[in-house]
Amino acid sequence: MYRLLFVLLFTVSLSATEYIIYVNSQINHDVTIQRWIPTIDFLNEKLAPDTFTILPICPNNIPKIKNLLSKKKIDFILTQPAIYSMLEHSYNTTRMLTLTNRYDMSEFGSVIFTYADSPLSSIEDIKGKSVAAIAPMGFGGWLIGYNELYEHKIDPIADKKVIFVGSQKKVLLEVLRKKYDAGVVRTGMIERFIQTGLIDENEIKIINPIKNDYNIYLSTKLFPEWSFAAAEHVNKKIINKVFKALNSIEPDTKMAIEGQYTDWHLPGNYTKVDDLFRRLKIGHYKNIPKYDMKEIKKIAEVSLLTFVLFIVTLFLILRNLYIKKMKTRLKQEVEEKTKELNILNSELTTFFDVIPDIVLINDGERLLRVNKRFLDFLGYESLEKFREKYRCICDLFENREGYLRSEMDGVTWMAYIIMYPMQLHRAIIVKDNVEYIFIVNAKKFVSQGRDHFVVLFEDITRLQEITSTDTLTKVANRIKIDEHLLMCKSNYERYKNIFSVILIDIDYFKVVNDTYGHLEGDRVLKELALLLKENLRETDIIGRWGGEEFLIISENTAIGAAYTLAQKLREKVEAYDFQLKGSLTISCGVAEYCSDMNNIDDLIKEADDALYEAKKSGRNRVVTARLSYNKETT
């Protein structure tokens, strides 16, 4: 009986597990299965008795993919970057490998083209023209090309000029038949159809051709190739086995030839894909998510504490093992303990890397460890590459009043955070000409007799944008304007950068509200804000000061130039048709910040006094605060 029980238990321990691999299938499931079945057969043979099964799903059926992932009915994902990026954001999938395509490239892009005798010759010519593409979530066959058009201020989706025809082949043929003005296909497709004789290269004209090292047709930037990833619930041991198996595939094998790739390598940087989603406001950036900040901070604090405890525990165990010089009979136990700790460290590293915020550890002098989000955000392959250029992340902080700098009140920025734990600490980092705002928290712990710091950077850029914008007029609100005025004052005191303000008030606005109602009054406020904004310089800042008042900040501008700008705005408003009986007019008070002022309140008072004088002397005029510039006009 005991022997039978042992046999049953042994048999159960050897039982196979079936893993489902979702594969991106754009057109025909049979074609997709034929392409990937050699690779799947290879995994089945290499990792027996575990089995792997293909599940082809069209990328347009995203609800089905998400439903299966949430129910743990998909274990691995083999798909193009757009779908992967969306699943990584929503389901914490772990990227394992990136494909190298048949052109020996680990990146790809889009080709924007038209027929040979088309009048189109540049991207700008495409505005208002019809564009054919494969599908809304086709990456090389649409989104990369769409991103390039969008950067040139062309939006076929908003203009309702894009047509999704379902396949790369159909895009090519429909454009060459002149059914559509232009088309977008993935890199390599035109060369492929020329080689098969489907089209002739003399029939094609490439729009925005870009020279490249691969000698392929290209019209856009390059993005990472297809990704092989694991769902969050998959055991780390099988992930490692699949990683090693796929990584061992050589070029020119049946798997590589049928799968149209040469090999698999370490995962690429998919941050560019996420940035594309953010820029085009699609996928998971279509709607602004709501965050429970208290819960996020609570999870982060618990996670960081667990990590710190593990580091301290590991250090003590290893130090004790070294001091005691354990005897021969304990060597096996030491090896087993070390093996367990390595597994734990591997799992902890994986956890460390899936934290969505930037996390780093340093000893007060140099960075010791960073997570994957740190490297992806800053665009570095490793911490060593980052150290070659920077000593500390604080080297990237923007020097702004009210934000963290490398040194704060004579101490380092980390020591400052520890000293004032109840304050809200923020930092600004500029990347690719975009400002990112972070809430920064730090925890101190002692290791080897030295202070160490675990620091968390929480990206609140989008939330900051929402909270600094007036909901009605979509210009800066009072909070944002106050913050900018303080920054201008600081720049004046440090660098003598002059600046002026224009305080604007709508003449007889109460009559508008009483006559037409508050809804019409709101419309007038919105149109006025837009009109003022369109006639400002790029360096000028406009905000709603309150009610029907607006404030404009003009940096590096003396009061005379500010007066000229205010007159221009006054004339524009008077000439604009607000669809009211009679014209709408404004009065303006102009003031320049001077050394004899104690604070911003003095500047605003001067502008307000000048505005009062403009109102008192008949309205629809500009008055300056300083007598040397005092001019007024009707």
Torsion sign over Cα 160, 166, 172, 173: negative
Q: Could you tell me the maximum CA-CA distance found in the chain, to the nearest angstrom?
A: 109
Task: Identify the pLDDT of residue 10.
Answer: 38
Give the CA distances from residue 489 to residues 124, 448, 478, 546, 595, in Å, rounded to whole numbers and listed in that order: 42, 45, 16, 21, 10
Torsion sign over Cα 54, 59, 60, 61: positive
Task: Identify the pLDDT of residue 622.
Answer: 97
Domains 2-104+225-285 and 108-223 share a fold: yes
In CATH terms, is domain 2-104+225-285 a member of 3.40.190.10?
A: yes
Give the separation between CA 529 and CA 549, rounded to whole angstroms. 10
What is the amino acid identity at position 372?
Answer: K
Is 128 in a helix, a strand, or coil? coil
Active site members: 548
- DSSP 8-state secondary structure symbol assigned to residue 600: H
- Listed by start position, the domains of the chain span 2-104+225-285, 108-223, 293-464, 468-629
Task: Identify the pLDDT of residue 299.
Answer: 60
The overall pTM is greater than 0.85:
no
What is the amino acid identity at position 200?
Answer: D
Tokens representing 128 are: 């208002």
Task: Identify the pLDDT of residue 549.
Answer: 96
Give the separation between CA 39 and CA 543, rounded to whole angstroms. 59
- DSSP 8-state secondary structure symbol assigned to residue 268: -
What is the amino acid identity at position 336?
Answer: E
Q: What is the gyration radius of the CA atoms in the chain, in angstroms?
A: 31
The CATH fold of domain 293-464? Beta-Lactamase (3.30.450)
Tokens representing 371 are: 């997570």
In CATH terms, is domain 108-223 a member of 3.40.190.10?
A: yes
Question: What is the phi/psi pair of residue 74, to 5°?
Answer: -125, 130
Is 551 in a helix, a strand, or coil? strand
Give the separation between CA 407 and CA 87, rounded to whole angstroms. 40
Residue 555 exposed, middle or buried by CB count within 10 Å (0-12, 13-18, 19+): middle
Crossing angle of helices 518-534 and 509-516, rounded to 10°: 140
Question: ∠ CA 147-285-72 to the nearest 5 degrees?
Answer: 115
Crossing angle of helices 144-151 and 271-280, rounded to 10°: 60
- Cross-strand pairs, 588: 504, 622
* 468-629: CATH class: alpha beta
The list of the chain residues with pLDDT below 50 reads 1-14, 290-291, 627-634
